[in-house]
């Protein structure tokens, strides 16, 4: 999900990775709204990216049953229906599976510092899950380094500047957005740090279930 209106960002502790970064976990969420406290996750998708490229065979995706009907405007925006989430796991099971897939990788989402990582943290709190630290970054920083001084770093603007082929990827579906973002992150990562030995953007500490 790529919201245009968000709550103010809470401060997150900036950290510096002590080891070379060669394992990025690109992820995206779809939710029932824009508030991490009032709304819930209905889809999680992720794919692994290393310095060698996007590992399409190392992907994760699941719908999440929020326990109530999905608002009509979210169904229209994402294409996700009540029938799709009805047999899906609840948030505790879904986040635990996502955490196992992510392992010790660095999480990356577009505008993730303001949207995706707060939703994960809030979901863990609401479900009463014990958590562990998880390093994350935000691909919007890569976009801003690629095109300094340029206004507008939304997903579509970034993809357009990179001239990536978006055919076969459905926007506003976490699986499609994750696939597109993974390609974009790899291209920008390689351009900004040719050896892909470091991630040339700030990283922060978030949480995932233990």
Lowest mean pLDDT among 1-10, 19-28, 73-82: 1-10
Task: Specify the pLDDT at position 2.
Answer: 54
Task: Specify the pLDDT at position 6.
Answer: 41
Task: Specify the pLDDT at position 18.
Answer: 41
Task: Specify the pLDDT at position 3.
Answer: 52
pLDDT in tens, 96-146: 999 999 999 999 999 999 999 999 999 999 999 999 999 999 999 999 999
pLDDT in tens, 37-69: 999 999 999 999 999 999 999 999 999 999 999
- Which CATH number describes the domain made up of 17-209? 3.30.420.10
pLDDT in tens, 36-45: 999 999 999 9
Task: Specify the pLDDT at position 39.
Answer: 98
199, exposed or middle or buried, with CB in 10 Å at 0-12, 13-18, 19+?
buried
Residue 83: is its pLDDT beyond 80?
Answer: yes
Higher confidence at residue 170 or residue 181?
181
Q: What is the domain partition of the chain in residue ranges?
A: 17-209
- Is the pTM for the entire model greater than 0.85? yes
């Amino acid at each position: 999900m790529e919201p245009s209106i968000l709550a103010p960002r809470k401060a997150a502790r900036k950290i510096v990775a002590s080891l070379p970064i060669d394992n990025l976990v690109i992820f995206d969420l779809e939710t029932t709204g824009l508030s991490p406290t009032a709304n819930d996750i209905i889809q999680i998708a992720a794919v692994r990216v290393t310095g060698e490229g996007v590992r399409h065979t190392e992907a994760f995706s699941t719908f999440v049953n929020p326990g109530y009907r999905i608002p009509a405007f979210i169904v229209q925006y994402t294409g996700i229906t009540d029938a799709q989430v009805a047999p899906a796991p609840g948030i505790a099971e879904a986040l635990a599976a996502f955490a196992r897939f992510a392992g010790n990788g660095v999480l990356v989402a577009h505008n993730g510092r303001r949207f995706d990582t707060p939703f994960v943290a809030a979901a863990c709190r609401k479900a009463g899950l014990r958590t562990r630290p998880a390093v994350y970054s935000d691909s919007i920083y890569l976009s801003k380094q690629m095109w300094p001084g340029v206004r507008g770093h939304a997903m579509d603007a970034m993809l357009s500047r990179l001239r990536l082929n978006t055919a076969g990827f459905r926007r506003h579906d976490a699986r499609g957005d994750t696939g597109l973002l993974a390609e974009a992150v790899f291209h920008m990562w390689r351009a900004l740090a040719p050896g892909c030995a470091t991630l040339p953007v700030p990283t922060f500490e978030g949480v995932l279930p233990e």
